Structure 1
């Protein structure tokens, strides 16, 4: 696999945006790609310092056209469509942790328990009009409740949102809580964050908000990682983590819209989708936590989300 650089990412995606879009939309897509490539590179630079090894860029393209950026032709009012998307499931625990643990695993805030997805969708209609919007999600999914971590994560997101619109955080936090629900369990997937969609790309202020989201990923997440990367764990805690991984898997496979879209899309590389799942998970019979235990403390919050900021 190639070493990852911003220019290689941009070069790979050249030509993935349908050429029937206007020069304005082409320029906008390039700006989005540069923004996403930059945040990806900055985050991986930070993780490489912890990992002690270089991350590589793995590229793929669909035979039907597109790759990380997808293009499609559909019937009805939509003549063509372009989707530019970055999804970061900060994954697999750093080797630095192995110096302190027998297995690469975390309890309070594992690297594969933080999820960021930012996207822009642009469509060209039959009448020639071009419409587009931004969407995204930033959430955290720990195995044990650490209130100060949840407060830090949500407060960082709230401070960022408040700089743009005071209504954003409460609205997007509620949206996130409502989306990440596992109905058959009566639980939420994690401690939430923000979820937004349909922010019109024609409005420059919305691009500014998207840009702020990319700049917030590292300060929201990295301090939590560094605080817990050397935590030890018991066999009981490891077993509980595997059960929580099972819940995460259930949501992603049964309810996540992005996962369903990718599985139904012809030619989409399925390994990319399944990379978002935990490496290991466990299910069992009547494994509800003991009332009043640390495990039960998390479950109570998952059943009734709190306000953290």
Structure 2
């Protein structure tokens, strides 16, 4: 992989720093629940089709009392897209060379009253340069208070930046995080954005605040719900909902396809899948 330039380096460092902040906060929640669970980190390397070094990343996974399974991955990869896949990537149709760095997080919770969650932020370079990402809340048993809290926190982050367009990004999340063959959304939304081009500093500041907003909202929601009692019926609802979540990630999710098409670490790519699910 080619040496990183200043913008690529800044983005990579931020995503790694954000990972450390999130993992520390999730481990603190486990301590509060009387668990000594912590993240296990596994580094991986990638080679592009030519055999040249293509970067790599670190897969972090924790299985605890509150977090039944949570994965927080960071990666920085580069090389060339193969074949027709390049035509589907912004700015890569005429030149398949690419660089990508980012963070990806999915948490599946033990208590059905605690919502699962997804968060991803990334910076890509082809013949163009852009940020993408977002966060969405996925409760098996939705609470209006949690949904409003999550959306309000993300909206404040959007409203603080010229690059943040909450109405557009929220509607985009509603459209993207949908399971067409089921005719339902996989959760209660959040924000989703892609191909955020233009001034790097302006867009980078917004992406950083998206990460900070997630770190503000989600742990608060977890602590609000993790002590709730649940029934076998609640758990059955959660497991059936997890089946739908798995369907979306395997059939429609762009990040899954991107990782598999670019030679990413399979365990890291599929860490989004729940540890248990049912198809009743």
TM-score by length of 1: 0.74
Structure 1 residue 77 displacement after superposition:
2.2
* 1:55 maps to 2:62: no
TM-score, normalising length from structure 2? 0.81
What is the aligned partner in structure 2 of residue 7 from structure 1? none
Corresponding residue number in structure 2 for 1:268: 264
Cα-to-partner distance string for 1:165-207 (whole Å, 9 max, x where unaligned):
4971100000000001111111001001000111115442111
**Counterpart for residue 301 of structure 1:** none
Q: Distance in 2 between matches of 1:83 and 1:27?
A: 14
1:235 CA displacement: 0.9
**Is the contact between residue 109 and residue 141 of structure 1 (CA under 8 Å) also seen in structure 2?**
no
Q: Distance in 2 between matches of 1:273 and 1:261?
A: 9
Equivalent pairs counted in the alignment come to 242
What root-mean-square deviation, in Å, do the aligned CA atoms of Structure 1 and Structure 2 show? Answer: 1.8
Structure with a larger share of its residues in strand: 2
CA shift, 1:73, in A, is 2.0
1:229-268 equivalence runs, <5 A: 229-265=226-262, 267-268=263-264
Q: Which runs of 5+ in 1 are unaligned?
A: 1-15, 20-24, 94-104, 126-130, 285-309
1:171 aligned to 2:178? no
2:39 and 2:239 map into 1 onto residues whose CA distance is 26
Q: 2:205 aligns with which of 208, 213, 217?
A: 208
Deviation at 1:282, TM superposition (A): 0.6
Match for residue 155 of structure 1 among 148, 152, 156:
152
Structure 2 contact 102–120 (Cα < 8 Å) conserved: yes
Where structure 2 has 5 or more consecutive residues not aligned to the other structure, the ranges are 31-35, 49-53, 57-74, 84-92
Q: Runs in 1 of length 4+ with deviation above 4 angstroms?
A: none
| Residues 1-309 of structure 1 aligned to structure 2 (within 5 Å) | 16=1, 18-19=2-3, 26-51=5-30, 52-64=36-48, 65-67=54-56, 68-74=75-81, 77-78=94-95, 80-91=97-108, 93=109, 105-110=110-115, 113-123=116-126, 125=127, 131-165=128-162, 168-200=165-197, 202-265=199-262, 267-284=263-280
Asked if structure 1 preserves the Cα contact closer than 8 Å seen for 2:162 and 2:202, the reply is: no
Tell me the distance in 1 between the aligned counterparts of 2:155 and 2:261. Answer: 35
Structure 1 pair 264–122 and aligned structure 2 pair: CA distance change class (3 A): closer
Shift of 1:262: 2.2
Q: Distance in 1 between matches of 2:24 and 2:202?
A: 28
Bigger Cα Rg: 1
